[in-house]
Amino acid sequence: MNFKQAKTKSKRIRRERTLLFLYAIAVTAALFISIYNNNSVKASINYNETFLEEMPDELALQEQTLSIEESLKFKEEETLPSPIAEEETTTIENVQKAEAMISPQNIGTSEEIVIVQKGDTFIDILTKLGLEYSEATKIYQAYKKVYDARKIKEGQEIQISSVVDGRYENEISITKISTEPTSGTRYILEKNTDGVFDARVEQDELTNELKHISGSTSGILSNAMKNAGVPQNVVGNFISIFNFRVDFRRDIRAGDKFELLFERKLAPNGTVVKTGDIVYAALILSNKKIELYRYKDSSGTVDYYDEQGSALKKFLDRKPLEFKNARISSKFGKRFHPILKQYRLHSGVDYAAPMNTKVYASGDGMITAAKWVGGYGNYITIRHNSEYSTGYGHLKSYASGIRPGVRVRQGQVIGYVGSTGRSTGPHLHFEIIRNGKKIDPLKVKAATGENLSGAKLKEFKTLVAQIKENLARETKLAEQANLPSATPATD
């Protein structure tokens, strides 16, 4: 039963009690009239008694007999139920039945788990339980303070506590809602003592651990890693780390091996809540081992280095666009300018691409400029190391957060193709600057990455020693269990 139904029953009960009160007044009035009539009869009998004293004995005896019979008849009539009494009894029974329907004995609590089905919405789930749409909407709005219930997914569990009518098993009031879309994080909406919903988030304390996995491949590295239990996002990161050193279509052969150590967070029940960064990555290609270690310096710069602190060289992307089929509309070199109508040096490569096409950072580095620069329009420059920088012109706009001093990763979106400045149509003007001089992006194979030295190198060496110790421990545990150093997996 919902609140509206309970309210209607309450009104009906009050109406029946009013009728009962009116009947009581009527009965009382009838009683007073009866008493008044009885007094009149008594007066008449007293008069007759005086008369009978003067009557002959036979007549007196007959009169007394008649009087007794009438008296008995009157008493029998008194014992018969009157129509008013019957109606009064019926009203009382109805009131008692109504009170029983809302009696605390029939009100109980319910705990149930609702599993979200395909096509379900949060409000639909509540209305199916018997709540009015307006009430379900209020609950949704209160929950929204900590959790957007529009994000519920098929198969997700929602725990609902409520007050119910035991006679009809109808919801009267929701008292608590809880869901855990991500293991270890619960979003709770609970009614307080004032009848108002409070929303909160409960977060389990997560445990950090390093997970070690290794295996071999018969030719397709990504399949072998997935079969070994490496999460999809970690597989992608692993391949990205080696992307500029290894050609995964040509260099990987049957029997080649991989090994990695990556971070992950566990809930108290052991469920993996989140996977983090790869701290160690290794490939053994044709018996040649390439090992890389993750290092983050005090300024927040993150990169991968070999055991000696030498940076993994990353070649700059010469077409840093989402639209990889973009045609070259103008090459580097002297050309006749379509707007200025004179021959001038074209200091980069123009890639014709649709308006709003994503523009990527050609390599890791720091934004040194993001501003309007004359004929270049909206222009970005990135310094990759002490030798190389890149420039991006005619942008429609910059990506969120892009400003001078911000560090970016290779492949990160920095802006969108436009036609600002001196331009005849949407395109990206891309430049590579080496030691302050602009060079042909199509002819140079520029590599970035700076080696560690001084205090950074010392800190890095300590980190490498810790990682090696961890790897040795994992290998020993696997050997003691008579297993290979990780789950053997091939594609």
Average pLDDT of the segment spanning 464-477: 89
User: Residue 269 is inside which H or E element, if any?
Assistant: none
Instruction: Round to whole Å and give the CA distance between 470 and 211.
Output: 10
Do residues 398 and 458 touch, judged by C-beta distance below 8 A? no
DSSP state letters, 151-196: G--TT-EEEEEEEEETTTTEEEEEEEEEEEEETTEEEEEEE-TTS-
**What is the total residue count of the chain?**
491
Do residues 439 and 357 touch, judged by C-beta distance below 8 A? no
For residue 148, what is the DSSP state?
-
Query: Helix (H, G, I), strand (E, B), or coil: what is residue 271?
Result: coil
For 138, the token pair is 């209020």
HSE, CB side, 13 Å, CA atoms: give it for residue 169. Answer: 3
- Residue with the larger pLDDT of the pair 479 and 20: 479
Distance of CA 476 to the CA centre of its chain: 41
The confidence score (pLDDT) of residue 75 equals 47
pTM of the model: 0.51
* pLDDT higher than 60, residue 181: yes
Closest alpha carbon to 382 in 322, 334, 323, 314? 314
The confidence score (pLDDT) of residue 107 equals 60
Instruction: Round to whole Å and give the CA distance between 189 and 142.
Output: 8
Closest alpha carbon to 147 in 194, 208, 203, 196? 203
Digit-coded pLDDT (tens) for 46-94? 444 444 444 445 444 444 544 545 554 444 454 445 554 455 555 555 5
Instruction: Round to whole Å and give the CA distance between 294 and 283.
Output: 15
* pLDDT higher than 60, residue 159: yes
Do residues 312 and 410 touch, judged by C-beta distance below 8 A? no
* pLDDT higher than 70, residue 109: yes
* pLDDT higher than 50, residue 215: yes
Do residues 344 and 335 touch, judged by C-beta distance below 8 A? yes
The confidence score (pLDDT) of residue 5 equals 54
Q: Kindly report which listed range (16-30, 114-128, 247-261, 476-490) carries the lowest average pLDDT score.
A: 476-490
For residue 331, what is the DSSP state?
-
Name the packing angle between helices 57-79 and 3-53 (round to 10°). 180
Question: How many of the other CB atoms lie within 10 Å of CB of 165?
Answer: 19
Phi, psi of 270 (to 5 degrees): 90, -5
Distance of CA 64 to the CA centre of its chain: 96
* β-sheet with 207-216: strand ranges across: 207-216, 257-266, 272-285, 288-296, 302-305
Mean pLDDT of the chain: 80
- Identity of the residue numbered 92: I
For 69, the token pair is 């019979």
Q: Residue 38 burial (CB < 10 Å; 0-12/13-18/19+)?
A: exposed
The dihedral formed by the CA atoms of 388, 305, 230 and 364, expressed in degrees to the nearest 10: -20
- Residue with the larger pLDDT of the pair 295 and 483: 295
Average pLDDT of the segment spanning 144-172: 80
Digit-coded pLDDT (tens) for 138-148? 999 999 999 99
- Identity of the residue numbered 362: S
The confidence score (pLDDT) of residue 59 equals 45
Q: Which residues contact 353 (CB under 8 A, 6 or more apart)?
A: 321, 323, 326, 417, 426, 427, 428
Percent above pLDDT 70 for the chain: 72
Instruction: Round to whole Å and give the CA distance between 312 and 18.
Output: 90
